[in-house]
Amino acid sequence: MSQSRMETLDPQTSTMTLSIDVDLYPRDVLYAAAYVFLDRAYVLLDRDGSRFLVHLRGKQPMDEATLRAMTGEFENELLAQALRHRVVEVNQKIIENITTLAIAGAAGGSGGAGDDDAPLIDMQDPGDDGFLEDPRGIAAPWEPKKKDAD
Amino acid sequence: MPSPSHFVTVKLHRTLYGEQAISEAAATFGDFATFTVHPEGDHYVVDVSDIDGEVQGDVVAEFCNFALANAALQRKTSDG
């Protein structure tokens, strides 16, 4: 049995039914993909045993080619949402850490950074940090030029 | 997929549509039709009657879209 299959297609009523194996995508992915189509189609989800059924009816009349294209778009959207779901899952800890740091920073706390808040350059002896070195002579003071322009 | 008429029954699968999602959608469209919801097996059965014939568009299908959107949003909220 295939994992995704077009069950019905009827250009007369601008309807089509797609069935998807329940093990292929999480339910959240199905919701997210269906949500994207709500503005241009009437969407009804159902379940028959081990398969989700997606009934779509175009809000505007659709010929067979358009209905087939919409089916393909729906399958693509499922894949895109599945990837999005996976990326969020994998990066959940990182997202939480960044959000915690941002909120802590906005609240005036150190966000657990500790000594990381110390200046990167030792202002007593900045040359030691290497940022004053300019072996290619790229650095040029701009203040005097600006003063002349005025 | 339901089509417009003055009495329509819609079956929404209980694993995909929460009762609250359906009730909120019914409340949204309460001015245009009468909705009664009851569980039956794996589905919530929604009887839609007194559909306002003056309304442009498909009230029942729009109701289904709203119920789906509510279900998706409530699922997202409960996860977060």
B29-75: pLDDT as tens digits: 999 999 999 999 999 999 999 888 888 778 999 999 999 999 999 87
Q: Tell me, what's the pLDDT at A48?
A: 92
**CATH number, domain containing residue A23:** 3.30.70.60
pTM of the model: 0.72
Cα gap A132→A128, rounded to integer Å? 8
Residue of A nearest to B61 (CA): A42
Cβ-based neighbours of A72, under 8 Å, separated by 6 or more: none
Burial class from Cβ neighbours inside 10 Å (0-12, 13-18, 19+) for residue B39 reads exposed
β-strands A41-48, A51-58 pairing: antiparallel
Q: Which domains does chain B have, with CATH numbers?
A: 7-79 (3.30.70)
Is B33 in a helix, a strand, or coil? Answer: coil
Q: Tell me, what's the pLDDT at A144?
A: 63
Do residues B16 and B72 touch, judged by C-beta distance below 8 A? no
- Can you give the residue range of the structural domain that contains A68? 4-92
In a domain, A33, yes or no: yes
In a domain, A102, yes or no: no
Residue A46 has pLDDT above 80, yes or no: yes
- At residue B20 the predicted structure's pLDDT band, cuts being 50, 70 and 90, is very high
In a domain, A120, yes or no: no
- Listed residue (A98, A53, A93) closest to A74, CA to CA: A53
Residue labelled with tokens 């309460």: B30
Residue A110 has pLDDT above 60, yes or no: no
Among A residues 16-55, those touching chain B with beta carbons less than 8 Å apart: 27-28, 31-32, 34-35, 38, 42-47, 52, 55
User: In chain B, what residues touch A45 (CB-CB under 8 Å)?
Assistant: 13, 16-17, 68
Residue labelled with tokens 């990837």: A83
The interface predicted TM-score of the complex, written ipTM, equals 0.87
